[in-house]
Each structure stands twice: as C-alpha cells, then as structure tokens.
Structure 1
Amino acid sequence: MDAQVKAPGVASAGGVRIAYESAGTGAPALVFIHGVLEDRTYFASQVAHFSGRRQVVTLDLRDHGESGGVAEVAIEDFVADVIAVAEEADLQGAVLCGHSMSGAVALKVAAERPDLVRGVVLLDGTVLFPEPVRQAALEKLVPALGADHWLEALRGYFRGTILSPGDPPDLVRRVMAAVEQAHPQFVQSFFNSLMASDYADDVRSARCPLLYIHAKAPADLQRLLELRPDAMVGQVIGSGHYLMLSAADQVNAMLERFLDLIGPARRPADLRVSGS
C-alpha cells in the first residue's frame, strides 16, 4: 500500500515553532525522534517502511531542521517539543522511537504523559552510561565546549566517539556538515544537560513496554535489565551509532516484532507493564 502523505504540520512548545510531518494511518502510531544535530529526514527509511500501514510521525526538535531556534537547551525542552507535536497531531498510545539522546527524551515523555505512549524504543539510546564515562564527559567534554576552541572539541568528539570507521563516507559528511553549523551556547548547554543524569529514574518511571536496540553507545544493558526485567534488548550487526541509516532493515525488523508483541493501542488506564 502506498503511504498517505499528509502536509507538514506545526506545533508550538513554549512559543517555539516545532515542525513535524505525518504519513500514513493506523494505530499505534510511530513517532521517530532524532538525536542532536540531526533532523527528521534521518528516518526516511522507517517512514517508507511503516507508513503504508500505520501512522508515522517525524519531527524536528527545536534548533534542528525546520523548527525554531533557541540559544540554550535542556533535555526537558525536547520533551516539551515531543508532547506538543503529539497533542497537535492528536496522538494517543503512540510508540516513541528515540535515537541517541532522544532515547532519554522518549522515556521522559512516557513518564510525564503515559496517556500519549504505548511503548518506547531506544535506538542506541544514550542512557545508563557507566559512571566513569559520564563523569569524563562532564569533566572534559563540557568544559572544552565552553572554551574558545569549542568547535575543535566538538569535531573531535563526533569523529572520535560518535562516528565509526565503517560508517559510509556520505554519512560522515552529513554528520560533520551539521557539526560545522552548530552554535556554541546550544552545544554546551545541551551536553551539560544530557550528561547531568544517567536516566535510571526515567527507565524505572516509564511504565510501558520498552525495547533497546543497541549499536555502539556504551549503555549498561545489564543494569537496564535489572531496572526493567521486562525490557527487550536487540543488537544490530555491522552498524555504528546511526543504525536507522546504516542498518535500516535490521532496525525495521525489530520494530515490527516489538509492535507485534505489544499489540494494538490501549486505553490510557491500561498502559501498564506486567507486574506494575
């Protein structure tokens, strides 16, 4: 079935314009939330795969893509962006799929607004980092991003930590082009906010089915399963951090299975995990 493509929409989160797009019909809807210095086009493969039989929503978080810009940002601002789009698109019981830092965003939305969320998928989510990794980021990366040579530090972080040797050249160019367009206040405030927590409380508080699809992020998956024994964990093969691009078929197949397992959308009062 061909996807039913709808006109792009606009939501408002605290006065900030948030651009989004919806394609297809069918519940539960899938909401794809990009990571930092990305935009909604990073999920083109997922939109093409799923929108023929269910609603698929993609959005540009503030200061990304076609959305409004801000000087500084915190993870909670992105949470507000997603909630604003979900309300504007009249979504209930959606499956939130967050890449990288937006794994934490999706968890926070699920905890704050369980009526909007049927399940959460973390696509190489930056949650539950080992404490030495998180502290190193706070003590070295964040201060470096606040210094004169912040762009050099940001380039080094993406080339040395985020990107992988096996990433296709066009992906590397795409990611690094976005790095070159970053703003120093935004970048420093973002990483300071991101690394301020390991998101263990959010993992516990998101009372909905949970899938973590791992690629490269140093998430402590054993701790994830201790916090949420009901969580499902998958691993892509042959992909770096941008798994929705470089391992789209694997990601889509795991998403399909997750949707099969959690079943159709339920009433808000029914959104509970087993044993809760």
Structure 2
Amino acid sequence: MEFSRHPAMTAGTVHRDRVTLHYRVAGAGEPTLMLIHGWSCNQTFWAPQIAAFAGQFRVVTLDLAGHGRSAAATDQRPWSMADLAGDVEAVADAIGAESVMLVGHSMGGAVAVEAAIRMGPRCRFILGVDTFDEAAFYGARPPDEIAARRRIFEHDFAGTMRGMVRNITGETANAAVIDAIGDGMASSEPAVALAVLEQLLAWDIAARWPALTVPVATINSAMLARRNELLALDRLEIGLIEGVGHFPMLEDPDAFNALALEILRRQA
C-alpha cells in the first residue's frame, strides 16, 4: 500500500512521550476525518480511501506509536488503548482540528472510542471498520487466554501473522492484496506488537461504551459476523458488507468507500 496515486498530501510530525508520530493530511475543511489503523497496521492501509474522501473532508492518516514510521521501543509506552488515543488527540492538536470524525479499523475502533471520550465534544462521530462487536477481541479476555494467544505469535511471528491474514480475508480477495496486508503486518516489531496485543485483549468495550456521547456506526464483514461470537452494544448502527473479510477498505475499496461516504455525509 502506498499514497503515490492520491491527491497531494502534506506530511507532518508531532512529538509525544518520546515518540515522533508521523501523519499526513489531504483535502480541507471541517469536520476533519481522522483515519485510525488497526493492530500491526499503519496509515498506508487507508491509501484507497484518500482520493474518495479528500474531495469532501480534510482527511488525516497517522501512524500510531509503535506502528509504521512512528517507531517506539517497548519501554516508551504503556500501550493501552487510552494511551494510543492520546496519539490521535496529539495529531488533532497539531493540525488545529476543532471538529473531528473518527474512522477506526479493527483495534483502531477501540482507539477511536478512547479518543472520543478523551476529546469530548470535539469529536462528533465514530465510524468503525470491522470492529467493536467481536467478543474475542473487545470483551476483556482472561489473563491465561491472553498469554496463550501471545505465545502463538511468539513461536513464529511473521508466519502466524500471514496465516491470520489469510484466515480473515474474503475468499475472493485479490491474492496480491492479501500478500501485501500480510507482509505489512508481519514486518511489525514483534515486541511492540505483542505488547499492544496484550493491552487490546485486556480492554473491555462494555465498560467504556457508556461513556461515549457521540453516535457510532460500523461497517463490518458479513462473513466474519456469521463466524464470530458477537457482543451486543446499545446505540451501535451496524452495516454488513458482503464478499469481504476483515479489511473491507482494501479488499473492495469501491464498495467500502461508497458505503462509508453515505454514512459520513449524514453526520457531517
């Protein structure tokens, strides 16, 4: 994934807690649309969305600490979802965004929830992307399960990551896209990735959900919704998209962009 085919993007950095956070901005106007990537991903996973979204919003992508170009050592952060949400707020501050809508993929949905709580009325809407309601990731897993899931990745980080990607993408997904996702995630720093994973699995969306005061919608994979144990969350608008897995914005960007823009326009 890369940005080269998309409208002119301005690159910037902001320093927070000994980490240099990298971000890019395209388009203009308010509200600002902040795109938050998932676990072991980075801001280029939103490359197919920039051209579609920047014509109507100021669009911001960022690398959360420990991801992409925002390199960090394990001792630099506690790696909680709330701490990563501080990265989102720091970038919003750096670009002077007074009103934001947050789009969070996978773990980015958890980060968006914490960022919205942190930013209060400054945040007006959250759109999730295959996130929020999968019990195995957002339902505060027990410590022994978290340790066991960590050990699976410790045994063969890159191989396990690529295998996971193949398991959660759609059957008709382009093979080159699947390989690019797997390679990108497998290139993450294992120590940081596993520290973040532990914090994600310990996070409890049910405990944080009541603190949200903004509307929340999500575009989730119909395939994975049928496969997984799901949580029931009040006030969550769920739209299911067929023919894709965990990365709808990359597996079928045209269908995803059309649905996302329809939802975002209603909230702008």
Q: What TM-score, normalized by structure 1, do the two folds share?
A: 0.81
Give the Cα–Cα distance (whole angstroms) in 2 for the partners of residues 254 and 242 of structure 1: 14
Q: Rate the CA distance shift 1:111–1:128 in 2: closer, same or farther, 3 A.
A: farther
Superposed counterparts of 1:195-234, under 5 Å: 195-215=201-221, 216=224, 218=228, 220=230, 223-224=232-233, 227-228=234-235, 231-234=236-239
Q: State whether residues 129 and 219 of structure 2, in contact with CA within 8 Å, keep that contact through their aligned partners in structure 1.
A: yes
CA distance in 2 between counterparts of 1:69 and 1:212 reads: 30
**Aligned residue in 2 for 1:271:** none
Change over 3 Å in CA distance of 1:257–1:137 after alignment to 2: farther
1:114 and 2:120 matched? yes
Q: In the alignment, what sits opposite 1:21? A: 24
Matched, 1:255 2:263: no
Change (3 A) 1:177 1:154: closer
Question: Does structure 1 residue 85 correspond to structure 2 residue 91?
Answer: yes
Q: Tell me the secondary structure at the aligned position of residue 63 of structure 1.
A: coil
What is the match of residue 244 of structure 1? 249
Match of 1:8 in 2: 11
| Distance across 2 between alignment mates of 1:39 and 1:92 | 24
Give 2:3's aligned residue: none
Per-residue deviation at 1:191?
Answer: 1.4
| 1:207 aligned partner, one-letter code | T
Aligned AA (1:78):
L
- Match for 1:75: what amino acid? M
Query: What is the Cα deviation at residue 202 of structure 1?
Result: 2.4
- Within 1, Cα distance between the matches of 2:150 and 2:176? 28
1:144 aligned residue: 152
Given the superposition, is the C-alpha separation of residues 129 and 198 from structure 1 closer, same or farther in structure 2, using an over 3 Å criterion? farther
Cα distance in 1 for partners of 2:141, 2:238 equals 22
Q: Contact conserved, 1:61 with 1:81, CA < 8 A, in 2?
A: yes
What residue in structure 2 maps to residue 38 of structure 1?
41
The amino acid that maps onto 2:33 is L
What is the CA distance between 1:137 and its match in structure 2?
A: 5.0
Cα RMSD after superposing both structures: 2.6
Among 194, 202, 213, the alignment partner of 1:188 is: 194
Matches of 2:250 and 2:108 in 1, distance apart? 16
Partner of 2:240: 235
Look up the equivalent residue of 2:17 and give its one-letter code.
Answer: G
Deviation at 1:193, TM superposition (A): 0.7
Report if the CA contact (8 A) 2:28-2:57 is conserved: yes
Distance 1:149 1:5 in 2: 39
SS at match of 1:8: strand
Whether the 8 Å CA contact 1:16–1:62 is kept in 2: the answer is yes
The CA distance in 1 between the partners of 2:139 and 2:123, in whole Å, is 32
Which ranges of structure 1 fall in alignment gaps of 5 or more residues?
264-276
Gap change, CA 1:208 and 1:80, over 3 Å in 2: same
Secondary structure of the 1:195 match is helix
Amino acid at match of 1:233: I
* Contact 2:157–2:186 (Cα < 8 Å) also in 1: no
What is the TM-score when the length of structure 2 is the normalising length? 0.84
